[in-house]
Amino acid sequence: MGGEAAQLTPARIDFSGVDPAAPGTGRWAEVRAEVMGALTTHGWFDAHYPQLTPELRAGLFDAAVRPLFALPVDAKRRNYHGPEKPFHGYLGGLPGLDSYESLAIVDGLKPESVRAFADLVLPRGANDDDGFCEIVNGAAKRIADLEGMVRRMILEGLGVAEHHEAQGESFWHLFRMSEYRAPNSDEKVTGYIAHQGGNCICTIAKE
């Protein structure tokens, strides 16, 4: 049991002093070694990224995510991209997941995409203030920076760093916000059931 428990405990990696715009500088090599070690051992890790500040996380959860999921279902269902792209928009009322909901913003790194999403789902007049868009777009950009650093470190660790730029050009981003009922509780929190993702996923939590 002790060995199994240790395997389930992820490494916590501190990305302080690592600049996404200056790979190879500062603590880059040290953190890269920790990333490769954690992925080899666990397949994932807990990242401390100072750019995702407590203030930004609090703003994202309290000023953006919670009010968003408090909207009527009809408003959330307007986030729809057709039956061929069910995971690009609103998910709710799924069989066996009655308490689960999620909303996605395609190309959340682009301010105009976040603005279009806000215009679509928020009540008229509620999105006059740019606060919602600034918070969501700011969080999406910082998450993408972290993902980009980790991806580059992995390619460097595998000895194929020269493919980083080409690989990055093939990517697109989906910023998904989720909410579900915690076990044995009526309180809703962000998250999802245990599952395997087929792409790079970065989950942030309010600490």
Identify the band that residue 103 occupies on the pLDDT scale cut at 50, 70 and 90.
Answer: very high
Report CA 189 to chain centroid distance, whole Å.
Answer: 15
- Percent of residues in the chain assigned helix, strand, coil, to nearest 5: 45, 15, 40
For residue 5, pLDDT over 50 is answered with no
Please give the structure tokens belonging to residue 142: 């910082």
- Report CA-CA distances (Å) from 108 to 111, 154, 160, 184: 7, 24, 28, 33
Q: Name the residue ranges covered by the structural domains of the chain.
A: 1-48, 54-207
Measured between alpha carbons, how far is 68 from 75 in angstroms, rounded to an integer? Answer: 10
pLDDT digits 0-9 by tens, 129-181: 578 999 999 999 999 999 999 999 999 999 998 988 888 888 888 999 988 77
What does pTM read for this prediction? 0.82
